[in-house]
Amino acid sequence: MLRRIPLFQDLSDEDLVLIEELAVEKQVSKGTVVMVEGTIGDSLFAITSGRVKVFMGDEDGREIILKILGPGDFFGEMSMIDSQPRSASVAALEPSTFKVLSHEAFAQCVERAPRIATMVMQALAKRLRDADRKISTLALMDVYGRVANTLLELAINDNGKLIVGEKLSQQDIANMVGASREMVNRILKDLSERGYITVESKTITIHDEKLPPSF
C-alpha cells in the first residue's frame, strides 16, 4: 500500500515496515472535514484511497476549491514544515483512507530516505505553479473561459476519449471557478448544445479540445 504512494517509493522494504508502524491509518466517510483552516496541526496525510477537496471558506458558507487530491497525493505538509496553522480546510469527497504521519515520524522517514525532502519540495513547487495558473485564470479569464479551462485541466484520456474523471457536481465546479451554480449550469448547457461536451450522470465527455473561451 505505502509503495504506491510516490513520496515513499524510494524507501527500502525495511524502511516501509518502519513507516507502516509509525503511520496511523485513518478512515473517513464522505463529507468528513479532515482539516480545518486556521487550526493547529503538524501531521502529514498520504491518501491511500478516495478523494478530498482542499478548500477555503467564508462565514456565509461560500467556498473556493483550491485542489482535488486523490490516491498517492498528500496534504498537511505546509503546517508540518512551518508550524503555522493549517492554510486551508480539507474534506473527503468520498469514503477515504489515509496514512497519517506525525512530525516526528516524518523526520524519521527523511533521515532514512533524504530524497523524501526533495520530493516534498518538488510537490510544493508544482502546487505553487498550479496556484499561479489559477490566480491568472481567475484574474484574466471570464467565467466561461474559467469553466472551459477547468474542464480541460481535470480531463483524462480514457481509451481515446477525453473525459472529466472526477464526478463533480455543478456546485463543485462553481466552487472551483469562483462562480454561481446557475452560471456554471448555463455554460455547461451552452457547451453541450454547441456539441463541445456531453454530460451524462456527472461524467463530462469533451469532444473538442478547443473549447470556446466565451458564449
Applying CB under 6 A, the residues found at the interface with ligand CMP are 35, 54, 66-67, 75-79, 86-88, 90, 127, 131
Comparing CB distances to ligand CMP, the nearer of 41 and 95 is 41
Comparing CB distances to ligand CMP, the nearer of 79 and 137 is 79
Contact 15, 83 (CB under 8 A): no
Nearest distance in Å: CB 137, ligand CMP: 13
19 DSSP 8-state letter: H
Comparing CB distances to ligand CMP, the nearer of 75 and 144 is 75
Cα(179)–Cα(25) distance, integer angstroms: 36
| 115-140 vs 103-112: helix crossing angle, rounded to 10 | 120
Question: Which residues does residue 206 pair with via DSSP β-bridges, in sequence order?
Answer: 162, 197
Nearest distance in Å: CB 36, ligand CMP: 9
Comparing CB distances to ligand CMP, the nearer of 63 and 77 is 77
Nearest distance in Å: CB 123, ligand CMP: 9
Nearest distance in Å: CB 69, ligand CMP: 7
